[in-house]
Structure 1
Amino acid sequence: MQFSLRPKHILLWGIATVLVACSSEPEKTAPALPDAPTHTLVFLDKTQSVNVNKSYVNEKYRQVLAQIVEENMRNKGDKLEVYFIHENTSKARALSLTVRAEKEGIEHANATDREAIETAFQMALQREKGIYLRQALTKLNQQNSGGSNQWTDIWASMPIIAKATEGGSDVKVYYFSDMVESVQGTERRNFHSNPPATDAQAEEWAKADAKQLEQHAIGSPQVTVITPFEPTASTRENSPHVTHYWEILFQELGGVSIEEL
């Protein structure tokens, strides 16, 4: 028995064939979006309570700064800003650096050319990193003999962090400090003369202070505190209650956890 396709059947068969052919084509993936640039904020404590001339402190801080430059300054547009912590932290930007080295035309290059482009980029990047590290170390060792070394305004770092997060960068914050806030005023904290005595008090103060600082939308940066304390430091020198205060404060402001080195 022979079957014949009527015009209507031929049309339906043709449409089905086209649909099957389209469905068998490999899906086109969207091009990968470039990573957001890294914006690194380094706050160097320039008050009397932190002595970078001590060999332990200087060596520790130098190593961490070198690690920061190496790991965070990797692509064109990555930025490093250094601020001094003292009485006038918000106006104490000491350094601002941005990676300029870039890979050119790597998308359409063959394997040999791609390797040459990558090598040239890494060489240029390493030269920049060397310059950045030398400049950062110079700022680390810079002394502050002025009157601003009497007070430690860490709260003033919050609007700086908030501004950095506005641009959509991956913000990483590093405090090279003992984190002993000490500012005059009835609504401020002076942990030199009146530190929190317990974790409960530290938590109470942090939650109250967060209400004063919540106007600064700090987002969710990565926050690391590099303390100047040796492993043998006493709890009076390296107070766990002060540490708890900052842990709660950052949690209240943006759900941010702190890593301490």
Structure 2
Amino acid sequence: MTEQGYFTEESSADVVISRNDQAKDKRLAEVMEVITRHLHAAVKEIEPTQDEWMQAILFLTETGHKSDDWRQEFILLSDVLGVSMLVDAINNRKPTGASESTVLGPFHVADAPEKPMGAKICLDGKGEPMLVKGRILDTDGNPIAGAKIDVWQTNDDGFYDVQQKGIQPDFNLRGVFRTGADGSYHFWGAKPRFYPIPDDGPVGKLLGALGRHPYRPAHVHYIIEAEGFETLVTHIFDPDDDYIHTDAVFGVKQSLMAKFRHITAADRISTEGQAGAFYEVIHDFVLAPVI
């Protein structure tokens, strides 16, 4: 590309892009061209004042200052703008019938203990008992044996164990299970509740200024892996949650809503060995084959 000459309001994007023509990484040059064109178009449409532009710069600066090894405020910004979910959707296009993905979230722990099928993952005893069960299937409806199911959730106070070191037991409400020949799984957790994303930083202030709340609806996280199949990172959601239609990070998908049934029948309570009422969630997952 030949340099486009001097910078003017009309030629701004072309001039900047032409300066990048010698980039060794062609993918970087391609990405920067798209970003530059859209950014310049947005600035021309908005026509910000100098003060407004400085406010934007200071917001990004504050976002960077809030980020560290534990807290990534730029990921949070990506989340609340829907960009994280868009990137997830682009990178996880599924064949017909396969379960949909959603965002991983910041609280996954890689070394959660493997447990026998049917084990309890609630170690702090808080909340209402919840039996979660279902099957892991392929797109033809066949069970997948040996699938690894990694699950985690908040406790009844709306916190993950890693957020409350010394308060919750380590690996509370986390576990890894493997399906048998019939592809089925089941475990005991606790009914999750909604919780806020971190809102004490610049992203939280932005949400407040936009009239948006910081809450995520109640959900249980899954990572499901099986040989010959694409790994599925997903959640199941409580469709009756107050925030199910306004998830702060746009992670809810209709196909991931699972009925949280309140079981009060004495015979079921006795059969499951419970002291009282419990919740039951039944949800199957369908894995896409590796192509």
Q: What TM bracket, shorter-length normalisation?
A: under 0.3
Q: What TM-score does the superposition give when structure 1 sets the normalisation length?
A: 0.22
Structure with the higher fraction of residues in helix conformation: 1
TM-score with structure 2 setting the length:
0.21
Q: Which has the higher strand share?
A: 2
Return the index of the structure with the highest Cα Rg: 1
